[in-house]
Structure 1
Amino acid sequence: MKKNIIILFLLSFAVTAKNLVPEDYWNIQKVANPQVNSSGNVVAFLKTYIDKKNDEFESEIWVMNSDGTNKSFFAKGSNFKWSNKGNTLAYLKEDENEINQIFIKSMDSRTESKISNFDRDIEDFAWSKNDKFFAFSSFNEYDDDWVVEIPGKNDNEDYNWTEDPKVVKTLHWRYDGEGELESGENHLYKISVDGGSAAKISDWGLDYISDLQFKNENTLIFAGNALLDDFLTPWKQSEIFELNIEKKKLTKLSPEGGVFTSPKISPDGDLVAFIGNPNRDFSSVAFNIYTVKNNRTKVHTKNLSASPENLFWLSKTKLAFEVDERGSANIKILDIQRSSVSNVLNKFKDQFYLTSTNENKLFGVYATSSRPGELATIEDGKIRVLSEFNEIVLSQYSLGKTNEINYQAPDGTDVQGWYIVPPDFDKNKKYPLVLIIHGGPHAMYRPQFNYLWHQFASDGYVVLYTNPRGSTGYGSDFANVIDNDYPGQGDLSDLLAGVDHVTNLGFIDEDNMYVQGCSGGGVLTAWVVGHDDRFAAAASLCPVTNWISMVGTTDIPAWTFEWFDVPFWEDPKNWLDRSPIMRTGYIKTPTLFMTGVLDIRTPMPQTEEMYVALKEAGVDTVLVRMNGEWHGTGRRKPTNWFRTYKYLSEWYEKYRK
């Protein structure tokens, strides 16, 4: 009887399933970074939900058994790491003075202890091999050597004077999401797990970057920057270092002249694996995996689809890693002895984001086109999903099917893409289309659940997204071809050929097609409507519209200069030819612009310039200045996700024919 009731309930639920609605975006939760302890029996992970009242995304550290059972809240904090014994979790959390400190909490007693009492934020840390010490990084500010004294100041009197100005001497003095930066370096320290004072173990002239780990009790391995070249793109200065703590002796392990990052020490401490490229002069190339032993470096991979990520030693001779490949996040195994690479999952087209391992068991986040990421493992070539945080919410809805397409641009370039159809799709009907363009421009779209896209599909649109040339996941040549040619005719033709491919399937209403994108996608949206008028309306979000004015106002000026053969003062032609604003006179498409007011990656003036240009040219346009957002329009504040969706959908409906 009980079984029949359950069957009747499921049948009733399936019949009443409905199209997705925006309101349930409030209820979507995200999981990330599952970390298994050394015993392999407990996993810590990050769970993020929306605090609706305060319009914030809130994150918590949770734990569960490695089979997915007994999930429970553990602590508030971030950047959590297991002790080597596997019974204690360390993490960063703000203290009563709002300074990030190291805290630890035992799995047995569940008692939280504050370890550090530092006067500046701790940004990263690592357990020592015997679990008795931590090494950690913290920012050290340079001394300000240009201070103007105001005459007439009496030391015995208080004044409400204007704050001293910021004197800028560097090219990279701000960062999106943070604003103005202090000038200085990240240095390394050592502290006992019992607490007490911290001792500084690195010196000036080295900026710590990431991947701090102990090789032995007296040696650290990490990625750092010893070039400190203000005129070079910061992330292209990463190298691998070894630091003797007692002697404060620093040794560079990676080859000269390249970009190297993500070191991982082998289980026996004999080898250090890392990824990199031997040359800093590139737009986008696939990094390779290296190992170093006794100052001898060996490269083990070549011609990968994209740069490998998240290296994990499975044994003394085998490394697991994640790599983007034709729209999927795939897991592969590298045999160090043979320098051979094999797939863990054959014909895999979903996403598995690898975050930790225990023996041959891989832990990560698994995502598909119809569901957000959930905690999962891979073992013996099979995926096992360990959580269903979003299943109750999403199972009540019918979602549109995601379909893969492969087509050719006019010059014969092969391009991959996908389209999502409405839940009640009928191939004999005609549907409006939204083309969504990714940013980067070196990035990769993938068939992974996106609430906004599925909401559009539930509203009756066919949603098309593709990976035009310049995208990663298809090899270095495909990604690097847009160097000094972005935006250009190549990526434009790839995008429009994708639209042609889908319209030729016979179910698109060609009078009602729309195009949108953010960041690099905003650039290409403005570029598309400057060359083609097939779209009924467009939405350019957080775009670059004028490369000359952008380079002086962005937080990535060195990277921007790399996109052009010569500076604009030597020859402005290419800078202007690649600026969408110079195509204003050709634009007929009603175009909405939307950018975060805090954005310094593609600063607000970029949006304002083209909005004013289109206004003057008589093109229907509107400017949406999104409060509380840096780069992007709905990433920081949940309510801005709803605003982004509503402004876009109402803009398209306004121009529905």
Structure 2
Amino acid sequence: MADQKRAVTPEDIKKIRVVHDPHLSSDGEKYAYVQTSVRNDREYNSHLFIHHFTDDIPVQWTFGEVRDHSPRWSPDGTELAFVSNRSGVHQLWVMSAAGGEPRQLTSLKHGVSDPDWSPDGKYLLFTTSARADEDIFSHEESPDEYETKPVKIERLRYKSEGNGFHRGRRTQLALLDMKSKETRILTSGAFDHHSARWAPDSRQIVFSANRNPDEDVSSVLDLFIIDTETSDTVKLTDSTGVFSNASWSHDGHRIACIGHELEYQGATLNQVWIINPLTKERRCVTIKWDVQIGDAAVSDLRAGQADLSPVWAKDQKHLYFSASENGNTGIYQMDLEGEITPVHEEDNHVFGFSYHPRLDFFIAGISDPSNPGDFYKIEKPEKGKVRLTDVNADFIQSVHLSIPEPVAAKAEDGWDIQGWLMRPAFFEEGQHYPLLLEIHGGPHAMYANTFFHELQMLAAQGYVVLYTNPRGSHGYGQTFVNACRGDYGGKDYTDLMTAVDQVIEQYDFIDEERLGVTGGSYGGFMTNWIVGHTNRFKAAVTQRSISNWTSFYGVSDIGFFFTDWEIGARVHDDPDKLWDHSPLKYVQHINTPLLIMHGENDYRCPMEQAEQLFTALQYLEKPTMFLRFPQSGHDLSRNGAPGLRVERLKHMAAWFEKHL
């Protein structure tokens, strides 16, 4: 019975199992995937599961207090390679398809990532990192190696969110010979190499890198081909854009990739490109489709979207890829002239897929607002999808979920703004409820028809939850996503306020005297901006936010180019513009009780952004509280320590309860 279900709680984040990264075997009889669950307040477990289509349920293949991920079937289907930290550092391991214990393949000092089998099965390609002239085949480094040593910094890009200080290390491609078990570093130089994939001849590899002298300042990403026998390297693109996630046609005559030419800097839509590896001729085949290629959906269950390369059909006349439009992420088929046909286009979120070219079917990971995510088999568009897993059945059956209602707002200048409204759990007609406005980060991202635990938890606390995609969001074309650049706090702000006004007018159960607002990253910036420009909200929670663009320029891992891209100024040539767009400038106008939450290891929006805002508010005796989360980065809400994720939600709920 529905009335026997309980409300969603902050602690439920520990109960949800997250599945991702499906990979079909070459015979098409089974697929492997990763399932992540909470181990304790500090750690997660990630294990590999195998699902034979003749079996009703998947079988768990790896066990223990470990993080196993990136499963990759050998071309003949006899082995499954994967990455695991079971030896302490993430290394390559392999298991027989018949079962048995995993065998360790690498012992590199800084670990490995992104494995890919050669088509002949003789090699495993992967990435690793190293400093110049460093012996990465020696013993593993001590975790305390750098704690008592100064950090020598000689380059602009010396740190990054998720990786911390680079300490001179660069990402290189490496080959493991499966017969001799010897590893050879394939690339070299003071450059980072990514997204490497084999050609059908098992000799050439296409990869992405910025090998230009100004690579620290420039944001371009080129495609290269390297010959694994001679190490000869050919550059395919001409440093005019960002190209990655390449895949070879089955005959090796063409390469498909995802990219753009930075026409709108970081707000440029991704497109699908076809490149002739011999002539280097390239053409954009989705140029007529005003849609973001790839997964732009945001959720608090997945940190970052899967970087899926375009997949070639068996006939080599069609490609498959994901794209994000109008709050949905689906799978699409395209011929080489740019004619696009939906394969799966529903009100949900495809967070990954694997395609079998010979048997012509997909395994797709799909989430919607009532399901954190499961796998489905999709044979043909007209046949729909067949559900294969039900990994969160116990959780879903035990809780009352609020199903979002689509809402549409008309901006002041006539632009259409899409959003969703969630009624409070156990909603009762005739009652009046406070409203919370949620604002996503990015800003070039997209709220979507996907599961969002935080939103469900707030609805369970008795709030109406409103979340929208204001201009600057993905999913509505190039003009829309570019529209906030140079105008942060302008029409993106009025889009949000207009949406609030219109849902209040439309829904008579909203108490317009009890409004709250929260958001993270860009959403945290906008939360700070809102409370500095209106007193209509009675409580606010700002998370991993930006408060001062002038200092952000020099402290964020992306600040030196992001401020120019998004605000339109650099600190050395127009500090006034950066200050005009900084919420800190308007701190004297903030009267809304503001909870500031920030991770101490955030390299994207560093802690000083929160400290400046809190210090100013405290000095002015404004109602505020500051929560610092130890050993937590920018993705605290998505992949931080489970216990801290729960604490974050509890404090958010308590703050709104106190002030609303």
Give the alignment's TM-score, normalised by structure 1: 0.90
User: Which residues of 2 match residues 45-444 of structure 1 at below 5 A?
Assistant: 45-52=33-40, 54-66=41-53, 69-75=56-62, 77-94=68-85, 96=87, 98-142=88-132, 163-204=148-189, 206-227=191-212, 229-232=214-217, 236-279=219-262, 282-293=265-276, 294-295=278-279, 296-302=281-287, 303-308=289-294, 310=308, 311-315=310-314, 316-336=316-336, 338-346=337-345, 348-359=346-357, 360-381=360-381, 382-444=384-446
609-618 or 491-500: bigger deviation: 609-618
- Whether the 8 Å CA contact 2:206–2:224 is kept in 1: the answer is yes
In structure 1, what residue type is equivalent to 2:223? I
- Whether the 8 Å CA contact 2:124–2:177 is kept in 1: the answer is yes
The answer for the alignment partner of 2:620 in structure 1 is 617
Summarize the Cα distance change of 1:418–1:281 in structure 2 as closer, same or farther, 3 Å threshold.
closer
Summarize the Cα distance change of 1:539–1:647 in structure 2 as closer, same or farther, 3 Å threshold.
same
Q: Deviations over 1:94-131 (max 9, x none)?
A: 364x3433211111143422223434422333211211
User: Helix, strand or coil for the counterpart of 1:372?
Assistant: strand
User: Helix, strand or coil for the counterpart of 2:366?
Assistant: strand
User: Helix, strand or coil for the counterpart of 2:503?
Assistant: helix
Which of 470, 473, 476 is the aligned partner of 2:472?
A: 470
Summarize the Cα distance change of 1:489–1:326 in structure 2 as closer, same or farther, 3 Å threshold.
same
- Whether the 8 Å CA contact 1:67–1:386 is kept in 2: the answer is no
C-alpha separation between the residues in 2 aligned to 1:197 and 1:166? Answer: 32
Q: How many pairs does the alignment contain?
A: 622
- Whether the 8 Å CA contact 2:485–2:568 is kept in 1: the answer is no
- Whether the 8 Å CA contact 2:21–2:70 is kept in 1: the answer is no
In structure 2, what residue type is equivalent to 1:471? S
C-alpha separation between the residues in 2 aligned to 1:482 and 1:260? Answer: 24
- Whether the 8 Å CA contact 2:153–2:167 is kept in 1: the answer is no
Summarize the Cα distance change of 1:103–1:405 in structure 2 as closer, same or farther, 3 Å threshold.
same
Asked if 1:590 is matched to 2:576, the reply is: no
- Whether the 8 Å CA contact 1:170–1:230 is kept in 2: the answer is no
Provide the identity percentage.
27
Q: Deviations over 1:208-255 (max 9, x none)?
A: 11243243122112222222635435xx32221111112211112234
C-alpha separation between the residues in 2 aligned to 1:639 and 1:387? Answer: 27
C-alpha separation between the residues in 1 aligned to 2:344 and 2:115? Answer: 33
User: Helix, strand or coil for the counterpart of 2:586?
Assistant: helix
C-alpha separation between the residues in 2 aligned to 1:102 and 1:207? Answer: 20
C-alpha separation between the residues in 2 aligned to 1:638 and 1:206? Answer: 35
CA displacement at 1:204 relative to structure 2: 2.0
- Whether the 8 Å CA contact 1:418–1:447 is kept in 2: the answer is no
C-alpha separation between the residues in 2 aligned to 1:493 and 1:534? Answer: 14
- Whether the 8 Å CA contact 1:37–1:86 is kept in 2: the answer is yes
The answer for the alignment partner of 2:513 in structure 1 is 511
User: Which residues of 2 match residues 16-55 of structure 1 at below 5 A?
Assistant: 16-52=4-40, 54-55=41-42
- Whether the 8 Å CA contact 1:289–1:308 is kept in 2: the answer is no
CA displacement at 1:596 relative to structure 2: 0.8
Q: Deviations over 1:271-318 (max 9, x none)?
A: 110111134662311121111123222221124321336221122111
C-alpha separation between the residues in 1 aligned to 2:258 and 2:600? Answer: 36
- Whether the 8 Å CA contact 1:211–1:223 is kept in 2: the answer is yes
Asked if 1:637 is matched to 2:637, the reply is: no
Q: Structure 1 stretches of 5 or more lacking a match?
A: 1-12, 145-159
Q: CA RMSD in A?
A: 2.2
The answer for the alignment partner of 2:556 in structure 1 is 554
CA displacement at 1:195 relative to structure 2: 4.0
Which of 533, 536, 556 is the aligned partner of 1:534?
A: 536
The answer for the alignment partner of 1:6 in structure 2 is none
In structure 2, what residue type is equivalent to 1:33? D
C-alpha separation between the residues in 1 aligned to 2:36 and 2:89? Answer: 22
C-alpha separation between the residues in 1 aligned to 2:183 and 2:9? Answer: 52
User: Helix, strand or coil for the counterpart of 1:559?
Assistant: helix
C-alpha separation between the residues in 1 aligned to 2:486 and 2:132? Answer: 36
User: Helix, strand or coil for the counterpart of 1:215?
Assistant: coil
CA displacement at 1:257 relative to structure 2: 1.4
CA displacement at 1:554 relative to structure 2: 1.3
CA displacement at 1:560 relative to structure 2: 2.6
CA displacement at 1:448 relative to structure 2: 1.5
Give the alignment's TM-score, normalised by structure 2: 0.90
Summarize the Cα distance change of 1:451–1:246 in structure 2 as closer, same or farther, 3 Å threshold.
same
C-alpha separation between the residues in 1 aligned to 2:146 and 2:526? Answer: 47
